[in-house]
Amino acid sequence: MTTSHVKRAYKYRFYPTDAQAAELSRTFGCVRKVYNLALAARTEAWVRQERVNYNQTSAMLTVWKKTEELAYLSEVSSVPLQQCLRHLQVAFTHFFAKRAKYPHFKSKRKSRRSAEYTTSGFRCRGGVLTLAKMSEPLDIVWSRPLPEGVSPSTVTVSQDAAGRWFVSLLCDDPRVQPLPATDTAVGIDVGLTHLLTLSTGEKITNPRHERKDRARLALAQRHLAKKAGGDGANRARARRRVARIHARIADRRRDGLHKLTTRLVRENQTLVIEDLTVRNMVRNRSLARAISDAAWSEFRSMLEYKAAWYGREVIAVDRFFPSSRLCSRCGTLASRMPLNVRTWTCGGCGTTHDRDVNAAENLLAAGLAASVCGAGVRPQRSTPGGQSATKQKTSQREP
């Protein structure tokens, strides 16, 4: 009997030679071109009420390579081109299942620059990784070791807007095993003044990473705005300067969330959060920047996949549950609770509550109770065109 392991991606920075950078840039362009050609072909068929699958687009790719106009597609590895067709097939599968919107074309300026290689497109031995169509291995900074005796199943090479190069190796990680079960549970209330408030009374300060670099970012953006449009070298340098600041902010935010979610998952068997439609909440212009910087969606995503890795449970309570207005001692429901009220006294039992701690305690109680009785405490997350994605108002959620 075989033991299934968790698929885990290990991401590393690498520094390509000029020849490697040119080859990868050509590959990125070809991947984008093939994806757009295949999407156009499938869209035309869709208008004619026909369906084109992966096998048909793969046959189209063979024909495209033989034309004079697209002969350059044969100059790069065929593996990333086939993979982008598979990705398009997955996108259409999600669309037909109503889990996603219709696939859109890849933009040269805005789309992610990446290429995925399967085992036939790379060689990885003894800490040396060589891609197809390249004679020299990549100069990778191995910041952490891969699992011993494990070979990657796919390799994804990418370049971010700041010009940094990354390679991501997807492996079966046998080291990820369920943690010993505990009887601890915690309610988690997200906010802006405090990033998290736990039902234990602990408050975790919001680091506000974007605010720390706001002045530098604003200056760099003003310099970019003054540059002439087009693809000039000065504008490209100014654009990379802005992108490097954004990357610095995102890196710090991601690092902090990883440390925080790992700690919560290790310490607690059950974690109860509130189901929020952040996509609608950021429509509030006065709070959009702060909400985006807090990265509540990224926090939830990390919490859920790490809980699945380590045998923990994440319970999401309905977003309309009045966690802030409900007394966690006697159950009295306050009629209203303005955002500026941070402490309040219950009219039923006279208990004085900290607004955020009380909300976390109510979330914990509601999550555990619903989990025991089998109620639906994990409502469906935002669906395209669904009413649940439009009812949420920012005014209903306190910072």
Residue whose pair of structure tokens reads 């010009």 in the numeric block: 163
CA dihedral in degrees (195, 196, 197, 201; nearest 10)?
Answer: -100
Nearest C-alpha neighbor of 157 from the set 132, 127, 136, 125: 132
Q: Which residues contact 320 (CB under 8 A, 6 or more apart)?
A: 396
Both tokens of residue 58? 């793969």
> Rg of the chain's alpha carbons, rounded to an integer?
25
Reduced to 3 states (helix: H, G, I; strand: E, B; else coil), residue 165 is strand
Alpha carbons 96 and 40: distance in angstroms, whole number: 17
Alpha carbons within 13 A on the beta-carbon side of 107: 4
For 385-394, the CB contacts below 8 A with 24+ separation are 388/277, 389/277, 389/279, 389/280, 390/280, 392/276, 392/277, 392/280, 392/281, 392/319, 393/280, 394/280, 394/281, 394/283, 394/284, 394/287
Tell me the catalytic residues. Answer: 189, 274, 356
